[in-house]
Amino acid sequence: MKIILASASPRRRELLTQIGLEFEIITADVEEHSDSREPAQVVMDLSALKAEAVLAQMAQQGLLQTEDVLVLGADTIVSCDGRILGKPKDEQEAISMLERLQDRGHQVYTGMTLLYRRAGESQPVKKQFFEETEVFFYPMNRTEIEDYVASKDPMDKAGSYGIQGFCARYIKGIQGDYNNVVGLPVGRLYQEMKGLLGDEEGSNI
């Protein structure tokens, strides 16, 4: 079976490698849109768009005829007071997001879509789930926020921060899965993969 990660995120790649999975990375250009306002549904919708686009791309290239394929789609967002915070468009938006998160808690959601297609079959088996982690910040002053944004680290991250990098100095605590905040709840993912594939195939992941 071939495992495909439908994401270019280096953090997700590192997490999958960390748990010993062999996989390939294939991404597809897709417009990320969800009609939902619920964070959990948004991340599941967007993860499905990515996974389905990659599977369709592989089908067009004739890559689904000879072996089983499992495509992993993922999306992560931050929610604070019901407002969804994605990746910042520019430095000013990054500053605004970080100011909103100060000295309080917020939620990080990662949604996952697993598409398992056996060789020669027309339709994949689909499984979706999400994980939610509560993150609490220490207060950052304006200079600290501007210096952090100037480092460019926040610019490709939901909520404008990376818990695993420099910003760790401002993290007061978390409730839930740390890896989920990094970008992939790998413990839950592994269990869901085993459940989807069944006992015999799941034990050989």
- Residue-wise pLDDT tens digits, 64-104: 878 899 999 999 999 999 899 989 999 999 999 999 999 88
- Residue-wise pLDDT tens digits, 184-194: 999 999 999 99
Instruction: Report DSSP state, residue 162.
Output: -
Between residues 137 and 66, which one has the greater pLDDT?
137
- DSSP-derived pairing of the beta strands 2-5 and 69-80: parallel
Mean pLDDT along residues 154-177: 94
pLDDT at residue number 202: 61
The active-site residue, picked from 35, 45, 68, 75, is 75
Angle of the 91-101 helix axis to the 142-150 helix axis, nearest 10 = 140
- Structural element, H or E, at residue 73: strand 69-80
75 an active-site residue? yes
Q: Is the pLDDT of residue 203 over 70?
A: no
Q: Is the pLDDT of residue 205 over 80?
A: no
| Residue 204 identity (one-letter amino acid) | N
Query: Distance between CA atoms of 184 and 49, rounded to whole angstroms?
Result: 17
3-class DSSP state of 60: helix
Predicted confidence band of residue 204 (pLDDT cuts 50, 70, 90) = low
Match 């959990």 to its residue by tokens: 40
pLDDT at residue number 199: 61
| Residue 104 identity (one-letter amino acid) | R
Cβ–Cβ < 8 Å for 92, 11: no
